[in-house]
Amino acid sequence: MAKILLTGGSGYLGSKLTRLLKDNGHAVCLVLRPQSNEAPVSDILEPCDIKRFSSYQELQETIVNGRPDVFVHLACCYGRNGESDSDMIQANLMLGITMLEASTKLGYPIHFINTDTCLQRNLNSYSLSKAQFADWGKLLANRVDSNLTFINVRLQQFYGPADDRSKLPSHIVHSCFKNVKDLKLTTGSQLRDFIYIDDVLSAYLTLIDNVESFKSFIEVQLGTGKSIPVKEFVETVHKLTSSSTKLLFGAISTRKDEPKECVADIKLMSSLGWSPKFSLVEGLKEMIRYELNMVKK
């Protein structure tokens, strides 16, 4: 089994993936920034190796001393809390480059699984900084003397129980479940590929189990392979929750340069034997079940 160094382990996706990797026999080292909250992984701290770093030098030393086989890079900054452009660059670009530099010192083949966005690069600071890091990964992996395989996962809109309510899917489910009076929305005409969290997790596990089949740089699109209008997603939530919330489509302006459609081409993932298992309704029912359980507590 692989020695895996994982960033973003205190986040929603990262904490769930850490548990899955441990359950499948992998040795996991979580690298956390000083401000990262350990609570999401508090139940698995003992079987995991937790390393905090306060400088890029400390991070590089952790990597060189830990000698991982696989990097899984999930840490990022979305910019939802007023972070500056320099904050975004540090989190989404410099952190990753520091890890790539450290990997070159290891002297053996390294597989780096990066989590990228499906958004076009110039939409906002978040998407630009993520795209720039992928560019660096490609540059370094394609060097003649490189020991790096860079697997760039372009992840579609994922959703699941207990995710951050600032994200669209959780915001919609929670608002409809609570029967808020009015829910202001865009027209909802954008087409999006919504993928349930458990399918995302199984896809990452599939990639890790097949890392040896990849060389140099490869881009992996991850979603269900089907897109639906955001309006349909909202209306499905509204129906499943029997909500009295008034849906105000068109009350919010669509972002400038918002892509009309985001959808994954999952041929590569399918060739590895992976396929999504959860339908939209099945995934949403799991989220609604979580909301019901929270009320009972």
pLDDT tens figures, 145-172: 999 999 999 999 999 999 999 999 999 9
Question: Tokens in use for 295?
Answer: 């009320």
Bridge partners (DSSP) listed for residue 188:
none
Return the pLDDT at 45: 56
DSSP 254: P
Per-residue pLDDT tens over the stretch 167-195: 999 999 999 999 999 999 999 999 999 99
Residue 79 pLDDT more than 90? no
pTM over 0.85: yes
Beta strands in 182-242 (DSSP E): 182-185, 191-192, 194-196, 217-222, 228-229
47 has a pLDDT exceeding 80? no
Phi, psi of 224 (to 5 degrees): -90, -15
For the residues 133-138, what does the mean pLDDT come to? 98
Q: Distance of alpha carbon 13 from its chain centroid, rounded?
A: 6
Q: Which residues contact 196 (CB under 8 A, 6 or more apart)?
A: 158, 159, 160, 276, 278, 282, 283, 286
Would the pLDDT of 35 be above 90?
A: no
User: What Å distances lie between residue 58 and 34, 54, 107, 149, 176, CA to CA?
Assistant: 12, 7, 19, 23, 45
Q: Residue 252: which residues within 8 A CB-CB, separation 6 or more?
A: 184, 185, 186
- What's the pLDDT score for residue 209? 95
Q: Is the pLDDT of residue 110 over 60?
A: yes
How big is the chain by its Cα radius of gyration, in Å? Answer: 19
pLDDT, tens digit, 9 for 90 and up, residues 233-281: 999 999 999 999 999 999 999 888 889 999 999 999 999 999 999 999 9
Given a cut of 90, whether residue 108 has pLDDT beyond it is: yes
How does residue 126 score in pLDDT terms, banded at 50, 70 and 90? very high
- For residue 251, give both structure tokens: 């009350």
Ramachandran sector of residue 265 (left: φ over 0; alpha: ψ -120 to 50; beta: rest): beta
CB contact at 8 A, 199 and 236: no
75 has pLDDT over 90: yes
Residue 51: is its pLDDT beyond 60? yes
Cα distance between residue 140 and residue 55, in whole Å: 22
Q: At 93, is the pLDDT very low, low, confident or very high (cuts 50, 70, 90)?
A: very high
Measured from the Cβ of residue 215, the count of other Cβ atoms closer than 10 Å reads: 10
Q: What is residue 94's DSSP assignment?
A: I
**Helical ranges in 51-147 per DSSP H:** 56-66, 85-89, 95-103, 125-141
pLDDT band at 296 (very low <50, low <70, confident <90, very high): confident
Per-residue pLDDT for 114 more than 60?
yes
So what's the pLDDT on residue 63?
Answer: 94
* Residue 50: predicted pLDDT: 76
Percent of the chain predicted with pLDDT > 90: 82
